[in-house]
A = this chain, B = another copy of it.
Amino acid sequence: MCELLGMSANVPTDICFSFAGFLHRGGGTGPHRDGWGIAFYEEGGYREFRDPHPSVDSPIARLICDYPIKSHVVISHIRQANVGGVRLANTHPFTREMWGRPWCYAHNGQLNKEWKALPLGAYTPVGTTDSEHAFCFLMGELRRAFPEPPTQPERLWQHLHGLCERLRGLGVFNLLLSDGIYLYTYCSTKLAHITRRAPFGEAELSDAELTVNFAEHTTPNDVVSVIATEPLTHNETWQRMAPGELLVWKEGEIQTRISTDSTSE
């Protein structure tokens, strides 16, 4: 299995603290030695860094820790390969453009062999993973249903939830997805989140000896949410998502919650 890390914030925020703990799981405190990647939506655009080597040894990962990139949305992934060899083309996150926006995706889990039959539309996988195939399926289906950006995003969210449920029917499918405005997190088995806002306190990483006092790095109106496969700190209370639940995040807040047998709130 792999691990996921996401962030949604209402002000451009760097993810250095969470990423410092997360990357230790990539061959340090965790078994996820088969590559890592991180994507940033910044005010002026989108960029990603990917490396097929363990994050704990990666000079690019160290650069990300030392060179704060301020974002509204971040998606990161460390990989323990199951389907698809250890190579750059199989390293998350994956990206495709739809409606003139870069969509970014990372997956934790494994699908049964039925994934090969998932129909593809406008998008074709570059690598050989079940994850990227599922992403291309998902994006192709969204684009087929919405050739233009929907004027009512709620319809898109409901459609996305249905597609995620279909993928969960094929195995384990924990998802991070974003178009740079919204961050979508879907839980099949395991995802936890925390929202930090004033009054900010101290946080201590579980995976590395690092403490941060967020009060020193924030202003009173900042809202920053972090979503991860497992809680990254041991002195804060993280919320666990329920299986079948899709959360739609915007600017650090949960905009909508869609669960298996509910409509949006």
Task: Give me the interface of A with B, judged by CB distance under 8 Å.
Answer: 42-52, 59-60, 63, 66-67, 85-91, 96-97, 99-102, 122-127
Contacts and interface: CB of A to CB of B under 8 A. Distances in A.
**Chain A interface helix/strand/loop/mixed:** mixed
A45 B88 contact: yes
A5 to B, nearest CB: 19
16 contacts: A42-B88, A43-B87, A44-B52, A44-B86, A44-B88, A44-B90, A45-B89, A45-B91, A45-B127, A47-B49, A47-B88, A59-B67, A63-B63, A97-B126, A99-B124, A100-B126
Contacts of A127: 45
B52 A49 contact: no
B46 A88 contact: yes
Nearest to A86: B44
Contacts of A49: 47, 49
B45 A87 contact: yes
Contact of A50 (B43, B47, B66): B47
A96 B63 CA distance: 26
A190 to B, nearest CB: 27
Nearest to A40: B88
A189 to B, nearest CB: 28
A45 B126 contact: yes
Nearest to A67: B59
Contact of A63 (B60, B85, B86): B60
Given A44-B52, A87-B44, A88-B42, A122 B124 contact: no
Contacts of A124: 97, 99-100
Contacts of A123: 97
Contacts of A122: 122
Nearest to A42: B88
Given A45-B89, A97-B126, 4 more contacts: A43-B87, A45-B127, A100-B124, A101-B126
A60 B67 contact: yes
A91 to B, nearest CB: 7
Contacts of A87: 43-45
